Amino acid sequence: MSEHERGLTARGLTVRYGGVVANDGIDLDVRPGTVVGLIGPNGAGKTTLVDAVTGFTPAEGEITLNGQSLAAMAPHKRKAEGLARTWQSAELFGNLTVEENLLVSARTVGFGSLFRDLFGRAGAGGSVDRALETVGLTGARGALARDLTLGQQKLVGVARALAGRCDLLLLDEPAAGLDSNESVELGERVREIAASGPGVLLIDHDMSLVLNVCDVVYVMEFGKVIFAGTPAEARVDAAVAAAYLGSPMEEADV
């Protein structure tokens, strides 16, 4: 596999809802070990893009992960290939422990093979341990999800996505509702995840988080990518400021 085939590649990604074009010919690259930010105003098409990449929304165009086309794959098949995601809300089972929430995601139940089921369950514990260590929640594994702070619940959501094969992690608004300290901790964890190997696509409205954590930033407006470049370039780009902030980005608290 060549270097440019590794990670996530989208070419000409288009999503239509009747006569409305929610994503219009999107080109996107997320390479292993990098954090790529996706920002834009509400209604720009960011979550639609995540849903299209993960298979929850039909799309035209090309989507590949590590050189393999995902176009004909259902969401659970894409997850099995290493495409993991979080959701805007934590979507945890409040009456289960942190560990149990991760096991729900990590276990592979092979209905056609007892041995596959047993080995899948045996291997799940190790992936849960690694995921909890990555997000700094090893000490909370026995706590009920409903008793956690919002910041901790968001980290459990990230850990749940990591509990299993993860070559590419999509984070949909992970900092929503977090205070500044929790957002900083989240950013540190995201960088650690990328440093361990997977590529990360980060969608969030927290400009400080995105500009300080990401290697590359894509900006969307009305379903199209209007900018792709480094955070430093994004800070001084007039089109980005007009579309997203309405004021020069260098004035943002970054």
The CATH number that applies at residue 71 is: 3.40.50.300
Per the CB < 8 A criterion, the answer to whether 54 and 139 are in contact is: no
- 212 and 186 in a common domain: yes
- 75 and 20 in a common domain: yes
b/e string for 198-210 if b means 16 or more Cβ within 10 A? bbbbbbbebbbbb
Last residue of a domain, one of 111, 133, 164: 164
- 201 and 136 in a common domain: no
pLDDT at residue 192 above 60?
A: yes
- 174 and 78 in a common domain: yes
Instruction: Please give the Cα distance from 40 to 42 (Å, whole number).
Output: 7
Q: Residue 245 has what pLDDT?
A: 57
Those residues with Cβ within 8 angstroms of residue 72's Cβ, 6 or more apart along the chain or in another chain: none
Which tokens hold the place of 199? 């590529």
Q: Residue 202 has what pLDDT?
A: 97
Band of pLDDT at residue 205, cut at 50, 70 and 90: confident
Instruction: Please give the Cα distance from 158 to 102 (Å, whole number).
Output: 10
Pairing of strands 168-172, 199-203: parallel
- 67 and 22 in a common domain: yes
Is residue 61 in a domain?
A: yes
Is residue 88 in a domain?
A: no
Report the largest interatomic distance among the alpha carbons of the chain, rounded to a whole angstrom: 60
One-letter-per-residue 3-state SS of 174-203: CCCCCCHHHHHHHHHHHHHHHHCCCEEEEE
- 181 and 129 in a common domain: no
Instruction: Please give the Cα distance from 190 to 245 (Å, whole number).
Output: 24
- 126 and 34 in a common domain: no
Is residue 92 in a domain?
A: no
Q: What mean pLDDT is predicted for residues 37-62?
A: 94
Instruction: Please give the Cα distance from 18 to 9 (Å, whole number).
Output: 26
Q: What mean pLDDT is predicted for residues 159-182?
A: 90
Last residue of a domain, one of 164, 189, 206: 164
Is residue 91 in a domain?
A: no
Is residue 247 in a domain?
A: yes
Is residue 89 in a domain?
A: no
pTM of the model: 0.86
Q: How far is CA 7 from CA 3, 22, 111, in A?
A: 9, 24, 30
Is residue 90 in a domain?
A: no
pLDDT at residue 81 above 90?
A: yes
Instruction: Please give the Cα distance from 64 to 251 (Å, whole number).
Output: 37
Q: What mean pLDDT is predicted for residues 218-236?
A: 94
Instruction: Please give the Cα distance from 163 to 48 (Å, whole number).
Output: 24
Q: What mean pLDDT is predicted for residues 133-161?
A: 92
The least confident of 30-34, 174-178, 230-234, 247-251 is 247-251
For 121, the enclosing helix (H) or strand (E) is: helix 114-135
- 71 and 126 in a common domain: no
Per the CB < 8 A criterion, the answer to whether 34 and 199 are in contact is: yes
- 247 and 173 in a common domain: yes
Helix/strand/coil for 145: helix
- 170 and 155 in a common domain: no
> What is the domain extent for residue 115?
97-164
- 132 and 7 in a common domain: no
> What is the domain count for the chain?
2
Is residue 47 in a domain?
A: yes
- 103 and 42 in a common domain: no
Last residue of a domain, one of 143, 164, 185: 164
pLDDT at residue 84 above 80?
A: yes
pLDDT in tens, 51-79: 999 999 999 999 999 999 999 899 999 99
Q: Residue 163 has what pLDDT?
A: 86
Q: Residue 107 has what pLDDT?
A: 59
pLDDT at residue 43 above 80?
A: yes
